[in-house]
Amino acid sequence: MQVSLIQVPYMVGDDRHSDSDGTQHLLQNGAANIFTSNGFTVSVDQVERGTTYRDSATASLAVNKNLKKTVQRAVVAEQIPIVLAGSCDVSAGILAGFDHSRCGVVWLDAHGDFNTPESTISGFFAGMSLAVITGHCYRSYWAQIGDNTPVLESATVIFGVRDLDPAEQQRFQQSQFGW
């Protein structure tokens, strides 16, 4: 069995943010060893932004387009793609890289990332990541990356979420997510 560890050292496309360093720390502290010690063959790839950017949405789009290609290469090579990332916005690039029409999502995060442009207090793009992949906003943005088929809420399980805006809390209560 082969694993492709895919490093995405960006926070919403920004390599200067402190959260972008986490992927390198995981690799330096033995992330690959977890798999090799269990008999897996491991390759490590790093996604590059490849362009300059004028804003976080543009930077995120560039990163996600390249991430999609990296995930596709891993899938074609019959590797299991495991993405190490500094931001949840990469979920769109991961899912765009393979046929996810029959997949679910396990969302592990302290933040819900289920805001939409209408519900957000801060406007923080990554805070809408789960809403994007479940089809609640930015469908045309995701389509620029690739397959933007929404993941069903009923096929999504949430763990660890505890930091929600009031409107986001209401959106979660009305959702079909598993808790």
**For the residues 102-126, what does the mean pLDDT come to?**
95
CATH for the stretch 2-173? 3.40.800.10
pLDDT for 163 equals: 86
Whether pLDDT at 134 is above 90: yes
What is the predicted pLDDT for the residue at 14? 92
Residue type, 3: V
Residue 6: partners with Cβ closer than 8 Å, 6 or more residues away: 45, 46, 47, 67, 70, 71, 74, 81, 82, 83, 84
* CB-CB contact of 68 with 96 (8 Å): yes
Does the pLDDT at position 114 exceed 90? yes
169-178 tens-digit pLDDT: 999 999 999 9
Question: pLDDT exceeding 90 applies to what percent of the chain?
Answer: 89
pLDDT, tens only, 29-82? 999 999 999 999 999 999 999 988 888 889 999 999 999 999 999 999 999 999
Cα–Cα–Cα angle for 36, 102, 120, rounded to 5 degrees = 90
Where do runs of H (alpha helix) occur along the chain? 22-28, 31-36, 56-76, 91-96, 129-133, 139-145, 166-173
Residue 15 contacts by C-beta under 8 Å, 6 or more apart in sequence?
9, 49
- Nearest to residue 27, comparing CAs of 68, 74, 95, 84? 84
pLDDT value of residue 56: 87
